[in-house]
Amino acid sequence: MARRLLAVAVCALVVAPAAAAATTTGPVFTAPVVKAAHPTLTKAVALRLTLADPKVHAWLERYPVKGRIEQETFDSGNRTWTVKIWWGAAGEIVETNIDDASGAVLYAYTGPQVAWGMARGVKGAFGGDDINSPWVFGAFCLVFFLGLADFRRLLSLRNLDLLMLLSPTASLWFFNHGRIFAAVPLFYPALLWVVLRGAFVGFTGRGTRARVLWPAWVLLAATVFLAGFRVGLNVESSNVIDVGYSGVIGAERIVTGGQAPWGNFPIEDNLPPCGPADSSGEIRDRIQTNHRCEAANPEGDTYGPVAYEAYIPGYLALGWSGQWDTLPAAHFTSIAFDLLAIIGLWLVGLRFGGLRLASILGFAWAAYPFTQYVSNSNTNDSIMPCLLIYGFWLATSPVGRGVFAALSGWTKFASLVVAPLWATYPDRRPSWKFLLAFAATTAAVFSIVFLEPSGWHELRVFWDRSIGFQKGRSSPFSLWDWRQYHAHGLPDLHLVQKVLEGALLVAAVAVAFVPRHKSPLQLAALTAALLAGFELVLTYWLYTYIPWFFPFAAIAVLAPAVSARVPLRDEEPDVHAWPLIPSAG
């Protein structure tokens, strides 16, 4: 009985004030039960847990304690602590997130991982999970090597070439695990190898004496199977990164908006939101000036005009919702240029070496893991080399070379470095037909600037948004910009980069005149060397750039070598002789 009276008294004490409030203030609102906002941990404890994390501790050992600035912030909604540490000119060097209840470090970012989400090793961020699986990527590597290796001489130069082309795989593994300072140095040997091998073949005209084990029909059948597998992998297990998204936006602006892409991309600043916040609290979906709800991509207008015009067929066929969704138009474009590259290399081989070489070159692209990496990332990085492949197929036509050299160069600007070489092929005399075709194609692809009322002004916007932006870009994904981390002992190689950039420009002009007469094999080899050299000096480099030089490196190292006196199987054998024949492969 005493317990019942006590319970009634307690209820009276709780209910009576609420009833009184209801009678004096009007309608009653039921308030949700809110957890106490006070954190369990203190700022000092959150900082101590951060400093005790092994990853953070190892990184901070590189910086003196003096000069550090720490900030500890508690998020009452997520019940977590965010701890940030700055040091001098290096800026923010550490960021951690700590669970308030358990004290567990939920994530720890150090060095470039703080500012660069790409440096954190997010699983499947580029290309999705499947292509980054050791089993799938490794299977491509194995098929590529087994299909093209010389098994009669395992220690041959041919096999070394194949292994060097596959060697960036080790770098990619570290990149996928967020170990940038281990990943970056490991891709340079492949670039340097292509430069040196391309220069050797280009200046001597001597290919590699080797024999592929498989007959042409086996390689052709494997290529067809791989092409279908590649399409399926793209459709079923790939993602579209910002590069592919940019292409679709640019195509929509040209076709529907009647605008040049540069300066007209979706932005976030000072625009009303029309969608939810993402995991980082950022609202990307905004009502743009065209009164349409679109996902922002403010820096996507940094490429040449062809990089957007190439997406027009996909956009016309499949459209765009305005959101960063599955973007079927990007998949369409990526798959189309991937298949066109295989067909183009097959045509190159058929023209310059017969069915045997055609089967080898088509298979090389289809089996090479980094070309599939590009396809699965749905970037524009297969467009540029694909267009150059068709220019090479038409090597004996100055007009064909000029058209495709311009289309390639105004996609991503790297291939402009080969324009002098292609203009003076095959005998160092500049071809006026090439120059006219290049100029006419350039005018045609840039005609979209006159969609704007002030077309000439738009050219300045193009320069600022593309070439100007790329020139001033910083990045931890190369050796050259590690100066921003110079405080912890990494060398400043900026001066070395400038010297190499100058050497590349000199080489681009020199190879236009030396050697005096060039075969198609030499043209391919020197093209590969220049493109790899361009990548060698880039500040911002990614694994999707490897296919830029790959087709021409493949021609240079896979084309069978015989006597230089053997004429080319073409209609102009005297000035375009290629030292190879189909039966030698």
Cα 239 from chain centroid (whole Å): 12
pLDDT of residue 277 exceeding 90: no
Task: Specify the range with the lowest mean pLDDT, choosing from 40-49, 205-214, 244-253, 513-522.
Answer: 205-214
Average pLDDT over every residue of 309-324: 96
- Three-class secondary structure of residue 113 per DSSP: helix
pLDDT score recorded for residue 469 = 86
pLDDT score recorded for residue 3 = 42
Average pLDDT over every residue of 207-217: 87
Which one has a higher pLDDT value, 26 or 89? Answer: 89
| Residue among 206, 147, 216, 144 at smallest CA distance from 585 | 216
Cα distances from 460 to residues 6, 446, 457, 466, 467, in angstroms, run: 83, 12, 5, 10, 10
pLDDT score recorded for residue 489 = 63
Average pLDDT over every residue of 562-569: 37
The long-range contacts involving 485-490, CB below 8 angstroms and separated by at least 24 positions, are 485/90, 485/111, 485/112, 487/62, 487/63, 487/87, 487/88, 487/89, 487/90, 488/59, 488/62, 488/63, 488/90, 489/62, 490/181
What is the DSSP secondary structure assignment for residue 454, as one 8-state letter? S
pLDDT of residue 31 exceeding 60: no
Average pLDDT over every residue of 418-426: 97
Q: What is the pLDDT of residues 353-412, one digit of tens each?
A: 999 999 999 999 999 999 999 999 999 999 999 999 999 999 999 999 999 999 999 999
Question: d(Cα 72, Cα 520) in Å, to the nearest integer?
Answer: 63
What pTM value is reported for the model? 0.88
Mean predicted lDDT score pLDDT of the chain: 88
Task: Specify the range with the lowest mean pLDDT, choosing from 16-20, 151-155, 330-334.
Answer: 16-20
Residues facing residue 87 across a β-bridge: 68, 91
pLDDT of residue 521 exceeding 80: yes
pLDDT of residue 576 exceeding 90: no
Which one has a higher pLDDT value, 428 or 398? Answer: 398
| pLDDT band, very low/low/confident/very high, at 57 (cuts 50, 70, 90) | very high
| pLDDT band, very low/low/confident/very high, at 580 (cuts 50, 70, 90) | very low
pLDDT score recorded for residue 568 = 40
Helix, strand, coil proportions of the chain in percent (round to 5)? 60, 5, 35
Task: Specify the range with the lowest mean pLDDT, choosing from 176-180, 211-215, 242-246, 303-307.
Answer: 211-215
Q: Looking at the chain, how many residues does it have?
A: 585
> In the chain, what is the straight-line distance between the N-terminal and C-terminal CA atoms, in Å?
103
| pLDDT band, very low/low/confident/very high, at 280 (cuts 50, 70, 90) | low
pLDDT of residue 10 exceeding 90: no
Q: Are 543 and 535 in contact (CB under 8 A)?
A: no
Q: What is the pLDDT of residues 429-468, one digit of tens each?
A: 999 999 999 999 999 999 999 888 887 888 899 999 998 8
Question: d(Cα 468, Cα 571) in Å, to the nearest integer?
Answer: 44
